Amino acid sequence: MEDMLFYDRMQFAFTITFHYLFPQLTMGLSLMIVYFKWKYLRTKIDKYNESAKFWMKIFALNFAMGVVTGIPMEFQFGTNWAKFSELTGGIIGQTLAMEGMFSFFLESSFLGLFIFGEKLLGHKLHFLTSLMVFIGSWASGFLIIATHSWMQHPVGYEVLENGKFVLNNFSALFSNVWLWPSYLHNQAASLVTASFVVAAVGAFYLLNNKHNEFGKIFVKTGVIFGLISSLIVAFPTGDLVAKNVVKYQPVTFAAMEGIFETEEGGSEIILIGQPNVQEKKLDNKIAVPNILSFLTYQQWDAEIKGLNEFKEEDYPTNIPGLYYAYHIMVGLGTIFIGLMLLAAVQLFRKKLYKTKWILWSLMFMLPFPYIANTTGWYTAELGRQPWLVYNLLRTADGASPTVSSGNTLFTLLGFIGLYLLLGLLFLILAGKIINKGPQLIKH
């Protein structure tokens, strides 16, 4: 049973991790495409229009990969997690169906109109298509996170005699206290990814001395969007998410922060340390006293409960994984703010395009927002364990009892091989688009 549950979780973790590499770019990029198209309508400078069309090619490629890698996850609800689907399908099925029927079709329909309909529609309606793509992609994220938020903090439900969850208050799904901080935090994080991708491509062009005018536009836009979104990820959205965890999942917060014992007189914030679960302590820690209490409750001596206050069966099942995922996310987020702030200062001084070390930094930072987003999701998912629906349905009770661990391992290996090929194909196609660059057509 433990092997079966392990492989079920590994398969879903692998497929969703790979899948989310694509939507995290498209959601943020859709807003930047709207900006480029709006900028063109205001200035009539063709470079902005070509920028919008160039990035929509990257968007379309990511969108296609997101669709291909998203479909297998839907099937896993019925194969590996049939019991979970049977018990909670009356609730999560509604938001997931809305995401597919409304958001996906809105996004995909207007994506086609943007790519192929510019001459037919004219520039104002063409701008409207980019706006609809943006609304569709962000609505998709909203409905997915509404589902996720219900699993983290279930509301508006009742449990029938047969154990099934049913919704008795539809509006509660969208007024969930967990939803809006998580959604805004996630969207700001996706905008960080898009900003770094746009800035990295612009830096690549400037350092290679090709498509220089577009390189300057991409770097400038990426830095401005990147600084704003990096700050929003930290505060207020990240702060609000953390406060929700403290209030509704205190055992998760203790594990995230590596607090094994409740500390009197205020809790320290850990900068560096390795959780030692066996001895229930942090090894080699470097900490700043009382800061965590102040950040959490705005009081220097506020008490934060340690893991010793809770039952061991309710501990997150992978405390080291949760601790490291959280600290990697926070550490990278801090670096993003610092780099974008330095780049913004140089931009203000009109020296950014000649400051090669910042351009190199922007280019080589390209993978790290993907890592930060991934570890952020790991923090949320590992933190909820051992529950599928927090405090109501344990993960072990949601797995399919008839799917063997051998079958799951076999299909997991198949997914790894197939996704490796898809990933290589994506990199080749994206590389070709970037290498060719935006094409400024003289009218």
The average pLDDT across 290-300 equals 90
Does residue 218 sit within a domain?
A: yes
pLDDT, residue 1, reads 58
Contact 218, 33 (CB under 8 A): no
Does residue 266 sit within a domain?
A: yes
Tell me the pLDDT band of 439, cut-offs 50, 70 and 90.
confident
User: What are the φ and ψ backbone dihedral angles of 367, each rounded to 5 degrees?
Assistant: -75, -20
Token digits for 331? 């550490």
For the segment 49-61, what is each residue's pLDDT rounded down to a tens digit? Answer: 999 999 999 999 9
The average pLDDT across 417-443 equals 90
For residues 380-393, one letter each, b for 16 or more C-beta atoms within 10 angstroms of the residue's C-beta and e for the rest, the string is: bbbbbbebbbbeeb
Residues of the domain holding 202: 177-379
User: What are the φ and ψ backbone dihedral angles of 269, each rounded to 5 degrees?
Assistant: -100, 135
Tell me the pLDDT band of 100, cut-offs 50, 70 and 90.
confident
For the segment 124-153, what is each residue's pLDDT rounded down to a tens digit? Answer: 999 999 999 999 999 999 999 999 999 999
Does residue 295 sit within a domain?
A: yes
pLDDT, residue 264, reads 78
List 159's β-bridge partners, or say none.
165
Query: Mean pLDDT of all residues in the chain?
Result: 94
Strands (E), 61-124: none
List 276's β-bridge partners, or say none.
281
Contact 228, 237 (CB under 8 A): no
Which of residues 264 and 5 earns the better pLDDT score?
A: 5
Q: 275-279, 375-379, 400-404 — which one is most confidently predicted on average?
A: 375-379
Does residue 124 sit within a domain?
A: no
**8 CB contacts (<8 Å, ≥6 apart)?**
80, 81, 399, 400, 403, 408
Asked whether residue 276 carries a pLDDT value surpassing 60, the answer given is yes
Domains in the chain: how many in total? 1
Q: To 10 degrees, the CA torsion angle through 248, 154, 174, 318?
A: 60
CA-to-CA distance for 143 and 398, rounded, in angstroms?
22
DSSP element (H, E) containing 120: helix 118-121
pLDDT, residue 266, reads 84
Strands 393-394 and 281-288: unpaired
Q: To 10 degrees, the CA torsion angle through 382, 383, 388, 392?
A: 160
Q: Which of 71, 59, 63 is nearest to 33 (CA)?
A: 59
For the segment 177-192, what is each residue's pLDDT rounded down to a tens digit? Answer: 999 999 999 999 999 9
Prediction pTM value: 0.96
pLDDT, residue 3, reads 84
